[in-house]
């Protein structure tokens, strides 16, 4: 029996050692399908049961769960035990855009190498999502990425609902997003990497990098990011043969005039990670470089993350703890950002000379990059972002239990909540939506709001037993504030969660209300004076009987108080509440 067990163990180990990825078996021309990736990781996990475990979470729109390969040198696979052991967590996400598949293959190579060579770090647990957009990965072709140089076939950007999943981390229209948030908040990674492929200009670099926007990140995390983590990634990758450059977000048609930093709002994966004080990265390989080089550069970058996170594990953990403590006490929160165009740096850029020639299609002048004329020169980089809107946090938010999706997402993201034990009328700061813009075409399934303006009023509002109270004194404060404040760029309000409040439910018949309005003016001299003052200010209004009747209605108790009233109240006093 012992001989049989040893033989099975030896066979599994040999199989894993011999196991090659579809990328390798295709002479580096193909990327793994979803089934191939899961089969590969299943074999690894069976071959190395003490150091690798393939687990699944929830479901996706495709009906499959999201898988996570957990790599743990010491065999700790319980997230709570990992945190208690003071180990860092590095989470790698792949295939959110399955047509950008380098991370899928690079992560398979990384996991196999770390296990085979017994080089897993003891102080870091590595979590790998093999393929995030499972639906899109099944929709394969070799043509949907028209500007991309290989592989021979790959998945499609949209998922089964035709959603771009890298715009779904707040609104959570997909089951994929819900499952991801389960993973993220269960494992609580300090460092998060989401692998991608770029579009845009031609240049000499194979790999570009988007770190979490430094000015958005908590200051202690930002200092480590800019002074240690990013510089070391650049230096180590240069030694490994793949120089890095910031993501080439050109201000003009070509990069020569300069580039700007990328501001990732919480709809994006790294913007979402920042809400939880996790440092995020979006590596973007260059679409025109050969697929094998794109995979190799991604593989070496992932190796470098493992090296640095292991080296700086203690510091990274201390920084995360300090950031969480700071955010729990933080009083002012930015809700939106703007680029300061008066501040810029000069960075070295290795590009190709941009030229123009007649188009063979139209005959008009067209851009091309001459690879026979490479250059190295300094270009400008604008990368200082400043808050354009800020808000002071309340003591707590009070949320009626009817808004169940909001409550579900807050709970999913680890937000501590209590419930009222009894019906309670409380004095709160309440917002009325004063103005907003709404897109004329849908964006990711929503007619999104923007440029929201609110009027804040103090009002006594009736709440009921079971309604929720969220005190803003916790590490999840950024998620709480940036989703619940309507003016925030990716607030729940801007994603249409509360559109029903924008519709008036009751009205009046003018011929009936005329008599009521006349009686109101007789009984309320102040209202009568207010009406006369408005007529003096506005001659058009003075000539418009319907407008005057509507004015009386809207300034009376007959007008519904909940029209345009944001349903979530801001508790700004230390009222003692009876909570469950």
Query: What is the spatial distance between Cα 413 and Cα 317, in angstroms, rounded to a whole number?
Result: 20
Residue 494 shares a structural domain with residue 537: no
The stretch 234-259 carries a mean pLDDT of 97
Query: Left if phi > 0, otherwise alpha if psi is -120 to 50, otherwise beta: which for 437?
Result: beta
Residue 516 shares a structural domain with residue 445: no
- Measure the N-to-C terminal CA separation of the chain; round to a whole number of Å: 57
Residue 462 shares a structural domain with residue 521: no
Q: Name the domain count of the chain.
A: 3
pTM for this predicted structure: 0.94
Element (H, E) at 61: none
Residue 137 shares a structural domain with residue 52: yes
Residue 422 shares a structural domain with residue 518: no
Decide: residue 410, CB within 10 A, 0-12 exposed, 13-18 middle, 19+ buried: buried
Q: Provide long-range contacts, Cβ within 8 A and 24+ apart, for 532-540.
A: none
pLDDT at 369 over 90: yes
Model confidence at 341, in pLDDT bands (50, 70, 90)? very high
Residue 95 lies in a domain: yes
pLDDT at 148 over 90: yes
Residue 391 shares a structural domain with residue 533: no
Secondary structure of 436-485 in HEC code, one letter for each residue: EEECCCCECCECCEEEEEEEEEEEEEEECCCCEEEECCCCCHHHHHHHHC
Residue 172 lies in a domain: yes
Residue 148 shares a structural domain with residue 178: yes
Q: In terms of Cα–Cα distance, which of 8, 37, 18, 24 is closest to 98?
A: 37
pLDDT for 451 = 98
Residue 364 lies in a domain: no
Residue 368 lies in a domain: no
pLDDT at 352 over 50: yes
Residue 22 shares a structural domain with residue 73: yes
Rounded to 5 degrees, φ, ψ at 244 are -100, 155
Model confidence at 54, in pLDDT bands (50, 70, 90)? very high
Give the rounded percent of residues in the chain with a pLDDT score beyond 90.
96
Model confidence at 13, in pLDDT bands (50, 70, 90)? very low
Residue 461 shares a structural domain with residue 528: no
Residue 210 lies in a domain: yes
pLDDT at 59 over 50: yes
The stretch 353-363 carries a mean pLDDT of 97
Cis peptide before 151 (omega within 30 of 0): yes
What is the span of the domain harbouring residue 478? 387-504+562-571
The stretch 430-436 carries a mean pLDDT of 98
Residue 521 lies in a domain: yes
Summarize pLDDT for 475-500 with one digit per residue, the tens.
Answer: 999 999 999 999 999 999 999 999 99
Summarize pLDDT for 249-263 with one digit per residue, the tens.
Answer: 999 999 999 999 999
Q: In terms of Cα–Cα distance, which of 102, 282, 261 is closest to 193?
A: 282
Give the rounded percent of residues in the chain with a pLDDT score beyond 70.
97
pLDDT at 7 over 50: no
Half-sphere exposure of 58 (CA within 13 A, CB side): 19
pLDDT for 10 = 46
pLDDT at 535 over 80: yes
Residue 472 shares a structural domain with residue 549: no
Summarize pLDDT for 400-421 with one digit per residue, the tens.
Answer: 999 999 999 999 999 999 999 9
Query: What is the spatial distance between Cα 243 and Cα 207, in angstroms, rounded to a whole number?
Result: 7
pLDDT at 11 over 70: no
pLDDT for 18 = 63
Q: What are the percentages of helix, strand and coil residues in the chain, rounded to 5?
A: 35, 25, 40
Q: What is the mean pLDDT of the chain?
A: 96
The stretch 6-18 carries a mean pLDDT of 48
Residue 437 lies in a domain: yes
Residue 310 shares a structural domain with residue 406: no
Model confidence at 14, in pLDDT bands (50, 70, 90)? very low
Q: What is the CATH number of the domain that holds 165?
A: 3.40.630.10
pLDDT for 565 = 98
Residue 247 shares a structural domain with residue 391: no
């Amino acid at each position: 029996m012992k001989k049989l067990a040893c033989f099975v163990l030896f066979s599994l180990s040999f199989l894993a050692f011999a196991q090659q990825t579809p990328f390798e078996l295709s002479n580096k021309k193909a990327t793994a399908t979803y089934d191939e990736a899961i089969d590969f990781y299943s074999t690894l996990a069976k071959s190395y049961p003490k150091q690798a475990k393939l687990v699944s979470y929830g479901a996706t729109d495709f009906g499959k769960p999201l898988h996570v390969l957990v790599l743990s040198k010491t065999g700790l696979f319980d997230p709570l035990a990992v945190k208690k052991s003071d180990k860092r967590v590095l989470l790698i996400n792949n295939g959110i855009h399955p047509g950008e598949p380098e991370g899928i293959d690079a992560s398979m190579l990384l996991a196999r190498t770390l296990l085979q060579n017994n080089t897993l770090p003891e102080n870091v647990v590595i979590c790998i999502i093999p393929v995030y957009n499972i639906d899109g990965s099944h929709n394969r072709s070799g043509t949907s990425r028209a500007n991309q140089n290989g592989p021979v076939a790959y998945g499609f950007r949209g998922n089964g609902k035709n959603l771009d999943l890298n715009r779904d981390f707040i609104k959570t229209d997909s089951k994929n997003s819900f499952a991801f948030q389960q993973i993220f908040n269960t494992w609580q990674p300090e460092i998060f990497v989401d692998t991608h492929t770029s579009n845009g200009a031609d240049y000499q670099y194979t790999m570009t990098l988007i770190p979490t926007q430094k000015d958005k990140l908590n200051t202690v995390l930002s200092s480590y990011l800019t002074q240690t983590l990013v510089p070391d990634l650049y230096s180590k990758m240069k030694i490994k043969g793949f120089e890095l450059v910031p993501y080439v977000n050109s201000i003009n048609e070509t990069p020569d005039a300069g580039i700007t930093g990328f501001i990732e709002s919480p709809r994006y994966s790294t913007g979402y990670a920042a809400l939880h004080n996790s440092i995020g990265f979006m590596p973007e390989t260059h679409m025109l470089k050969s697929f094998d080089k794109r995979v190799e550069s991604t593989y070496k970058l992932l190796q470098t993350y493992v090296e640095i996170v292991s080296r700086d594990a203690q510091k990274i953990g201390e920084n995360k703890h300090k950031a969480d403590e700071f955010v729990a006490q933080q009083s002012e929160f930015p809700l939106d950002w703007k680029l300061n165009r008066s501040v810029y740096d000069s960075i070295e850029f290795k590009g190709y000379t941009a030229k123009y020639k007649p188009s063979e299609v139209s005959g008009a002048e067209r851009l091309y990059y001459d690879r026979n004329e490479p250059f190295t020169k300094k270009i400008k980089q604008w990368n200082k972002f400043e808050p354009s809107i800020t808000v002071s946090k309340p003591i707590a938010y009070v949320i009626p239990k009817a808004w169940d999706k909001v409550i579900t997402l807050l709970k999913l993201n680890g937000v501590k909540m209590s419930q009222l034990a009894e019906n309670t009328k409380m004095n709160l700061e309440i917002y009325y939506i004063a103005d907003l813009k709404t897109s004329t075409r849908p964006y990711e399934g929503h007619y999104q709001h923007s440029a929201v303006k609110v009027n804040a009023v103090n009002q006594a509002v009736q709440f009921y037993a079971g309604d929720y109270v969220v005190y803003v004194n916790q590490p999840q404060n950024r998620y709480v504030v940036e989703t619940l404040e309507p003016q925030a760029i990716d607030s729940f309000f801007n994603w249409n969660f509360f559109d029903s409040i924008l519709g008036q439910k009751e009205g009046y018949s003018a011929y009936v209300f005329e008599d009521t309005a006349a009686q109101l003016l007789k009984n309320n001299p102040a209202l009568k004076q207010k009406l006369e003052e408005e007529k003096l200010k506005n001659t058009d209004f003075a000539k418009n009987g319907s407008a005057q009747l509507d004015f009386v209605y809207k300034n009376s108790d007959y007008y519904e108080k909940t029209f345009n009233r944001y349903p979530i109240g801001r508790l700004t006093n230390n009222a003692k509440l009876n909570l469950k």
